[in-house]
Amino acid sequence: MSGMTINESLHSVNGNSIVGPYPDGFEKAIFGMGCFWGAERIFWSLAGVWVTAVGYAGGDIENPSYELVCSGRTGHNEVVQVVFDSKIISYESLLAIFWESHDPTQGMRQGNDRGTQYRSGIYCFDERQRELAEASRRAYQVPLTDAGYGPITTEIVGGAEPVFYFAEGYHQQYLAKNPNGYCGIGGTGVACQVGLFSGPSEQ
């Protein structure tokens, strides 16, 4: 649990367990969209989201620390894991929120935060998530281009369950504990229409 205490393993906003076990039938999603403090805050209050946690994904070593991730030597990204009830909120809806809540065209940065750990990324748990993520990227590129933005640089990794390491306890729900904390995450103002990329089985 990357140094989390028992209290820190409970979500400080809703009290649910960060580390599980999670309710049967719930799904998981992992998104990288810049500073993980702000990314987590975007998702934790959504109806249908059971719990959120910040951590690291997409890297090359086991159990990285925050300091190592920030050094750029591990290849990890700062990410938020979202555990959700797909009967209430769909993966497609989470993708739309992901795209709208940050600028996915900035490469290895997000706002004033620069480094490989701030890159835009989607880490998929199965082939369906990967297909939806790629379809959503293609669909969202159109209005972004129309609005004057460049190519989307978001990495989409998956098909198989991603390796996720929980971040240290003090990072969990950081902006709930520190409401004046800084986070440079921000969207483009370009809307993402869910229906444009939902597959036939989801329509």
Instruction: For residue 2, tell me if it sits in a domain.
Output: no
Catalytic pick from 35, 124, 183, 192? Answer: 35
**Nearest-10 crossing angle of helices 91-100, 36-44:** 130
State the pLDDT at residue 203. 36
Residue 106 is predicted with a pLDDT of: 95
Q: How many domains does the chain have?
A: 1
DSSP-assigned beta bridge partners for residue 54: 80
Residue 81 three-state SS = strand
pLDDT the model gives residue 34: 96
35 classed as catalytic: yes
Tell the residue number behind the tokens 């591990």, with chain if given: 74
Q: At a CB cut-off of 8 Å and minimum separation 6, what does 186 contact?
A: 102, 103, 111
Q: Is residue 91 part of a domain?
A: yes
21 occurs within a structural domain: yes
Provide the pLDDT for residue 183: 87
pLDDT at 122: 99
Whichever domain contains 17, its CATH number is: 3.30.1060.10
Backbone φ and ψ of 197, nearest 5°: -130, 0
| DSSP-assigned states of every residue in 93-130 | HHHHHHHHTS-TTSSSEETTEESGGG-EEEE-SSHHHH
pLDDT tens for the chain, 203 residues long, are 456 776 789 999 999 999 999 999 999 999 999 999 999 999 999 999 999 999 999 999 999 999 999 999 999 999 999 999 999 999 999 999 999 999 999 999 998 899 999 999 999 999 999 999 999 999 999 999 999 999 999 999 987 889 999 999 999 999 999 999 988 899 999 999 876 666 544 43
Per DSSP, the residues of 183-196 read ------S----GGG
Residue range of the domain that includes 148: 7-202
pLDDT at position 202: 42
How many residues comprise the chain? 203
